[in-house]
Amino acid sequence: MIAALLALACAPKAAPAVVAPPVEGPPPPPSERVLLDGTEPVIGNASATITIVQYSDFLCVHCAKGFEVLAAYTDTHPDVKLVFKTFPLSMECNPELGVSTIPDRCTLAYVAECGARAGRFRETAAAIYSDIATLGAAGATPDALAKIAGRAALDPVALQGCVADATVRDAVMADAHEGMRLRIRGTPSFWLTRDGRPGFELFEGDPAQVVTRLDQWRTP
What residue ranges do the domains of the chain occupy? 33-218
* Integer CA distances (angstroms), 136 to 17, 37, 73, 99, 153, in order: 11, 31, 27, 17, 22
Q: Which of 42, 39, 83 is nearest to 193 (CA)?
A: 83
Residue 64 DSSP class:
H
**% of the chain at pLDDT higher than 90:** 66
Region 161-169: mean pLDDT is 96
Q: Are 201 and 62 in contact (CB under 8 A)?
A: no
Region 46-57: mean pLDDT is 95
Amino acid at 220: P
What band does 16 get if pLDDT is binned at 50, 70 and 90?
very low
Radius of gyration of the chain (CA): 16
Residue 197 DSSP class:
-
What band does 2 get if pLDDT is binned at 50, 70 and 90?
very low
Q: Is the pLDDT of residue 20 over 50?
A: no
189-194/50-56 β-pairing: antiparallel
Q: Is the pLDDT of residue 26 over 90?
A: no
Q: Is the pLDDT of residue 41 over 70?
A: yes
Task: Tell me how crowded residue 45 is: count the other CB atoms within 10 A of its CB.
Answer: 14
CATH of 33-218, one of 3.40.50.800, 3.40.30.10, 1.20.1440.230, 3.40.50.300: 3.40.30.10
Region 173-179: mean pLDDT is 94
Q: Is the pLDDT of residue 133 over 80?
A: yes
pLDDT at res. 15: 38
pLDDT digits (tens, 9 = 90+) for 97-116: 887 677 799 999 999 999 99
Which residues make beta-bridge pairs with 56?
Answer: 86
Region 41-53: mean pLDDT is 96
pLDDT at res. 218: 84
pLDDT at res. 17: 36
SS3 126: helix
What band does 183 get if pLDDT is binned at 50, 70 and 90?
confident
What band does 137 get if pLDDT is binned at 50, 70 and 90?
confident
pTM to 2 decimal places: 0.86
